[in-house]
Amino acid sequence: MPIVNRIADYAGEMRTWRQHLHTIPELALDLPKTSAYVKEQLQAIGVDELHEGFATCGMIAIINGQGAGETIGLRADMDALPIPEETGVDYSSTHAGNMHACGHDGHTTMLLGAAKYLTETRNFKGRVALIFQPAEEAIGGAEIMINEGVLETFDISQVYALHTAPGFPEGQIVTTPGPIMAAVDEFHINIQGLGGHGALPHETQDPVVAACGIAQAIQTIVSRNHFALDDLVVSVTQIHTGSADNVIPDTAYINGTVRTFDKEVQAMVIRRLEEIVKGHSVSYNVDAVLNYEVGYPPTINNHDKAAFAADVAREVVGDAMVIDDYERQMGGEDFSFFLEKRPGCYLFVGQGEGPSVHHPKFNFNDEISPVGASFFARLVERLQPVG
Ligand SMILES: [Zn+2]
Ligand SMILES: [Zn+2]
């Protein structure tokens, strides 16, 4: 694999970083050990500036190139998941109940590898801003860092990020112009009825039947209200109610998730959910209330930056190992907040067969760390070449 030779030399060191990070998985904004370890490595690497305290445990590290130019933002997420680890590796999580099940230990490592190379060689113009971000899995650390002004403070003009992808060949790099990941929203419907004896339904306002009706009607948003060629998922994922076979309960609860790529489609779904919930309140004589939570926006790659990034990927891993028009995914990602503000590109790096991310047996493949680091390094060198 034609990765940058100098970065191939760091493979052992990157493995050490990654496996140490794997032992100390931390959640959301609260990453004291992780951020301290990353800081220690950045200081050893000798980055020019280190700015801490964004989104609690986030950091921005600056590496100056040779001469004036733009500041390129490269982002790694650092947080883990509340999943008990089942990998059996000898560097398993020492934090019971938490594990790096989404490969963010590897993303952090790939960015550290790029930082080491770029600090050592500085074969680029302008600057690099390394964005080490907490809380990708929940809360949206990216949005917090943006609201704290990192893009303006450090004059970041373009942004890039990588995510590991099990199930794709090891080292394959995959992206697409335009939308690559969906907007991720959730909805909660609380139904207040009037419970009573199961044998005397006429004395009740049955929330069970109402819940069934609402869940069925929600299916028609995709099948009847939406243009067939646009992408949309509306899934009812929970219905909770009742406690005994001879009791009609007072209440019922429904929730679910909505995945969209388009603000108009998202608005249509919200409007239809409101209408369905309101209409069913009347027809089933219950009091149903919708609580709709807008989550991460869609992750939308800039067309030119995606084409450029794919070209850099081809240089690093070869033509046959790059897919530059992959189908959009219905999962979500908070790098979307960065891509709403700045042009850039989000890419996947294949790590071979194995359990999917968010599985208790998932483990980042250390073999791809030099690939990701080389991609970041060559991206920076080619965006603003010296001389
Ligand atoms: Zn994840
Ligand atoms: Zn992830």
Helices (H), the chain: 5-8, 11-23, 32-45, 104-121, 141-147, 150-153, 207-224, 263-283, 303-317, 335-341, 369-383
Average pLDDT, the chain: 97
What distance in angstroms lies between residue 277's CA and the mean position of ligand 2's atoms? 33
- Give 101 or 6, the one with higher predicted confidence: 101
Looking at the predicted structure, is the pLDDT value of residue 266 above 90? yes
| The two structure tokens encoding residue 318 | 């070869």
Q: What is the pLDDT of residues 306-353, one digit of tens each?
A: 999 999 999 999 999 999 999 999 999 999 999 999 999 999 999 999
Identify any residues that bridge with 133 across adjacent strands, giving them in sequence order: 77
Q: Where are the domains of the chain?
A: 5-180+298-383, 183-296
Q: Are 176 and 329 a contacting pair, CB within 8 Å?
A: no
Taking alpha carbons only, the member of 340, 346, 302 closest to residue 146 is: 340
Residues surrounding ion ligand 1 at CB below 5 Å? 102
What distance in angstroms lies between residue 50's CA and the mean position of ligand 1's atoms? 26
- For residue 106, which phi and psi values (nearest 5 degrees)? -70, -40
Q: What is the pLDDT of residues 128-150, one digit of tens each?
A: 999 999 999 999 999 999 999 99
Q: What is the pLDDT of residues 203-249, one digit of tens each?
A: 999 999 999 999 999 999 999 999 988 889 999 999 999 999 999 99
Note the pLDDT of residue 2: 59
Identify any residues that bridge with 205 across adjacent strands, giving them in sequence order: 194
Instruction: Please enumerate in sequence order all residues whose Cβ is within 8 A of that of 343, keeping only pairs 6 or more positions apart, or say none.
Output: 158, 159, 302, 304, 305
What distance in angstroms lies between residue 118's CA and the mean position of ligand 2's atoms? 25
- For residue 224, which phi and psi values (nearest 5 degrees)? -120, -20
What distance in angstroms lies between residue 82's CA and the mean position of ligand 1's atoms? 11
Q: Are 57 and 27 a contacting pair, CB within 8 Å?
A: no
What distance in angstroms lies between residue 276's CA and the mean position of ligand 2's atoms? 34
In the chain, the N- to C-terminal Cα span, in Å, equals 27
Cβ neighbours, 10 Å, residue 138 = 15
The yes/no answer on whether domain 183-296 falls in CATH 3.40.220.10 is: no
4-8, 17-21, 297-301: segment of lowest average pLDDT: 4-8
Looking at the predicted structure, is the pLDDT value of residue 3 above 80? no
Distances (CA, A) of 39 to 33, 49, 58, 65, 366: 10, 11, 10, 20, 21
pTM of the model: 0.92
Note the pLDDT of residue 5: 83
Give dist(CA 34, CA 42) in Å, integer.
Answer: 12
Give, as one character, the DSSP assignment of residue 213: H
> Residues of the chain with pLDDT > 70: what percent?
99
Give dist(CA 107, CA 70) in Å, integer.
Answer: 23
Residues 253-276, mean pLDDT to the nearest whole number: 96
Q: What is the pLDDT of residues 34-56, one digit of tens each?
A: 999 999 999 999 999 999 999 99
Give dist(CA 171, CA 187) in Å, integer.
Answer: 37
Note the pLDDT of residue 1: 44
What distance in angstroms lies between residue 382's CA and the mean position of ligand 2's atoms? 27
Note the pLDDT of residue 229: 87
Q: Which fold has domain 5-180+298-383?
A: Aminopeptidase (3.40.630)
Note the pLDDT of residue 290: 98
Note the pLDDT of residue 230: 84
What distance in angstroms lies between residue 307's CA and the mean position of ligand 1's atoms? 25
Instruction: Please enumerate in sequence order all residues whose Cβ is within 8 A of that of 200, keeping only pairs 6 or more positions apart, or say none.
Output: none
